[in-house]
Amino acid sequence: MPRPRKCRWVKNEPPIAYFKPRGIPLRELTEVNLTVEGCEALRLSDLEGLSHQEAAQRMKVSRHTFGRVLAEARRAVAEAVVLGQALRIDGGDYAIRGRKSPPSPQPDANGAPAPQQENPMSKIAISSEGPTLEDLVDPRFGRAGGFFIYDPETKLSEYLNNGAAQSMGQGAGIQAAETVAKAGAKVVLTGYVGPKAFRALQAAGVQVGQDLEGLTVGQALERYESGQVEIASGPNREQGGRA
């Protein structure tokens, strides 16, 4: 039995679905089809300049599958341009980010539904010891040196210093939660989070990925984007811990 096709993630549907040579009626043209995921592969590889590995991660497919989709897309465009044919962008096996979610996680041992991962294009805040992807994840959420804020939509990042929370005797976790929420983050990746900080993050609509100490910021981000980070349902640091 053939393996089922894996759904490919795309940013959005193409704004234009048809291209044809000027001055020739459509009825006189041969039509070439370019799938929506093929159009996305062209955008990621040829327009944004991503590597096959990076683009494959965006589309949630293997590098081999991405290479095949891209090759088919390039051939369709080349055929339409070189032979003067009409190009129709339609069909395929794809899901629009934010509209169609992957299968829901299974309930936990107590029957409670598992937390679902936030929209993959939401901003991500990573507690960090420094401003680069090579710096280590700071295991202390509330008293982290700062937060690496990454926007998957624009690929831009910034570093927010967490000095105000570090100097507080109490309430550092709540202050840190306010900092990342104001930055627009909907996901926090860190090591340890205390109960008060966890509740503050939940109240702000921010999901938490924990137990990522020992990784670099880049490694933690890669794990999250590949679906390897479990969204926490509760804090992993007891009351009174300096997290």
pLDDT tens digits, 193-238 = 999 999 999 888 899 999 999 999 999 999 888 888 888 888 987 6
For residue 128, how many C-alpha atoms fall within 13 Å in the half-sphere facing its CB?
26
Under 8 Å between Cβ of 196 and 241:
no
The model carries a pTM of 0.52
Average pLDDT for the chain: 83
pLDDT of residue 65 exceeding 60, the answer is yes
Under 8 Å between Cβ of 159 and 131:
yes
| DSSP codes of every residue in 195-237 | HHHHHHHHHTT-EEE---TTSBHHHHHHHHHTT-SPBPSS-SS
pLDDT of residue 72 exceeding 90, the answer is yes
Domains detected in the chain: 8-96 (1.10.10), 123-225 (3.30.420.130)
Q: Point out the least confidently predicted range of 61-75, 155-169, 175-189.
A: 155-169
Q: Which two tokens stand for residue 59?
A: 């589309």
**Quick one: average pLDDT of 179-184?**
91
Distance CA 197, CA 240 (A): 11
Q: Which two tokens stand for residue 11?
A: 């940013």
Q: Which phi and psi (to 5°) does residue 98 adopt?
A: 90, -10
pLDDT of residue 73 exceeding 90, the answer is yes
Task: Tell me the percentage of the chain whose pLDDT exceeds 70.
Answer: 82
More confident call, 103 vs 207:
207
The residues, any chain, with a CB within 8 Å of residue 117's CB and separated by 6 or more, are 207, 227, 229, 231
Under 8 Å between Cβ of 176 and 162:
yes
pLDDT, tens only, 126-167: 999 999 999 999 999 988 999 999 988 888 899 998 877 666
